Amino acid sequence: MKIMDQPFSKDQLQDLSRKHDGRVRGVIAVPWFDLLDRSQEPFEEEICRRVTGSRYGLIDLTIKVAGCLGDDILFEVGGDVTHLLADYETTMAEEATPAVGELIHGVDVARVVALAKRQILEAGLHLRAGSFSALHDFVDANMLGFHSDQEHLADGTAFGDLGVERAVEVMNRVQSILDAWLRSGQARRQAEGGGHAP
């Protein structure tokens, strides 16, 4: 059983869906403590995002416990990706844009994402990395969205004051937006003058 470390690409989704009547499935690992105090809808959205790159990427969602590994609970996640693939670019572009006024634990997600996008474009990383995980080959990607002091996020929040669980939740959201932005090709289009990094 292979545990996914990043969402399937569009090509992988197309290939898998052709083989399995529009359905895909994958195994993801979620730390047990991330499951506490989570309601069903946000959990399902995060699961879908981790498999397809989109929080609405799977229809007829199935989630089964597949085991555990250390502190991680392994989930086998499956669903139909027909609707996602019908308009993949638009869906991924929507994923690459934080909601207006989106706050997580008081952090202005849009401001953090905007700085991270500028940092990626200014360094030319959009030309070398087609996903967030690929950024790690060139830079400490976990520091994108931080001011130069590397202690404060773009909105001025002192990162250390968030605590581990809240910091992880904030950065997971920021990184999922950046991943969708890179995967959708929006980063390249913006760099070529087809839009501005919000």
Same domain membership, residue 125 and residue 75: no
Same domain flag for 104 and 182: yes
Q: What's residue 194's pLDDT?
A: 59
Domain count within the chain: 2
121 lies in the same domain as 167: yes
User: For position 95, what pLDDT does the model report?
Assistant: 79
Give every residue of the chain whose pLDDT is below 50, as ranges.
Answer: 196-198
Domain finish residue from 89, 110, 141? 89
pLDDT tens-place string over residues 130-162: 889 899 999 999 999 999 999 999 999 999 999
The answer to whether position 2 is within a domain reads no
Which residues have CB under 8 Å from 49's CB, separation 6+?
7, 55, 57, 95, 176
- The 10 Å CB-count burial string (b at 16+, else e) for 46-73 is bbbbbbbbbbebbeeeebeebeeeeeeb
Is 4 inside any structural domain? no
Model pLDDT, residue 198 = 47
Domain final residue pick, 40, 70, 89: 89
- The reported pLDDT for the residue numbered 6 is 84
User: Is the same domain home to 23 and 85?
Assistant: yes
pLDDT reported for residue 38:
78
Q: Indicate whether this model's pTM tops 0.95.
A: no
103 and 78 within one domain: no
pLDDT for 114-131, tens place per residue?
999 999 999 999 999 988
What is the model's pLDDT at position 114?
A: 93
Q: How many CB atoms lie within 10 A of CB 1?
A: 9
Identify the domain boundary among 55, 89, 123.
89
Per-position DSSP letters for the chain, written without gaps between them: -PBPSSPPPHHHHHHHHHHTTTEEEEEEEEEGGGSTT--HHHHHHHHHHHHHSSTT--EEEEEEEEEEETTEEEEEEEEE-HHHHHTHHHHHHHHTSPPTT-EETTEEHHHHHHHHHHHHHHTTGGGT-SSHHHHTTTS-GGGTTB-TTSSBBTTS-BGGGG-HHHHHHHHHHHHHHHHHHHHTTHHHHHHTTS----
Range of the domain at 174: 96-191
Q: Is residue 168 part of a domain?
A: yes
Query: What span, in angstroms and rounded, lies between the C-alpha atoms of 81 and 58?
Result: 5
CA-CA distances (angstroms) from residue 195 to 25, 110, 117, 131, 185? 34, 16, 12, 19, 12
- Determine, yes or no, domain membership for 196: no
pLDDT of residue 120: 96
**183 shares its domain with 103:** yes
Residue 179 and residue 107 share a domain: yes
Same domain (yes/no): 50, 109: no
- Answer whether residue 109 is part of any domain: yes
Looking at the fold, whether 58 and 36 belong to one and the same domain comes out as yes
Q: Does residue 3 belong to any structural domain of this protein?
A: no
Q: Are residues 108 and 133 in the same domain?
A: yes
On whether residue 115 sits in a domain, the answer given is: yes
Q: Are residues 80 and 15 in the same domain?
A: yes
pLDDT for res 82 = 94
Residue 197 lies in a domain: no
Q: Are 103 and 167 in the same domain? A: yes
